[in-house]
Amino acid sequence: MQTSNLQIVYLLLGSNLGNRKEILDKAINLLSQKVGVIILRSKDYETAPWGVTNQPDFLNLVVSIQTRLKPLQILEITQSIENQLGRIRKEKWGARLIDIDILFYGNEIIDEPNLKIPHPLLQERDFALSPLAEIAPDFVHPVLGETISELREKLISIS
């Protein structure tokens, strides 16, 4: 497997079906085995669904992981973990057992057909910004040039 220098990757995990806490814990365990060392983990956040709103509430959290893997390798592994834990992709933004999104990969900007980093909708989603602000409040968004705390405050003020 190709490796690069150590990077910090921020991942958003969410679940709104089944035993959400147990599924998230299993996902974190698999991420620590397959992606790298988990540095920080936010608390769990109970959040209303976004996009498609007629579904159960989500449990969301963010982890930071120190890794040598490249972004596309991480995407492949996170999708494999989702499948292993029983995710079935039916509708965009629909209910799911597990969802793992790559929010940031260091300060890199990646624009591939199947992978956009930073996550393009991050600044619109408090369910991602709140747990991220807990563990990385001063991290500067490499495209928007604002800290996570600033982005969250801006989102809250317009809500």
pTM: 0.91
pLDDT score, position 158: 86
Which residues are annotated as catalytic?
87, 96, 99, 101
The CATH number assigned to the domain holding 12 equals 3.30.70.560
49-78 pLDDT per residue, tens: 877 777 889 999 999 999 999 999 999 999
Q: Which of 4, 12, 21 is nearest to 104 (CA)?
A: 12
- Say whether pLDDT at 1 is over 80: no
Q: Examine residue 89 and state whether it is found in any structural domain, yes or no.
A: yes
Q: Examine residue 31 and state whether it is found in any structural domain, yes or no.
A: yes
Q: Examine residue 110 and state whether it is found in any structural domain, yes or no.
A: yes
- Say whether pLDDT at 3 is over 50: no
CB 40, CB 102: distance < 8 Å? no
Tally of domains within the chain: 1
Range of the domain at 75: 7-122
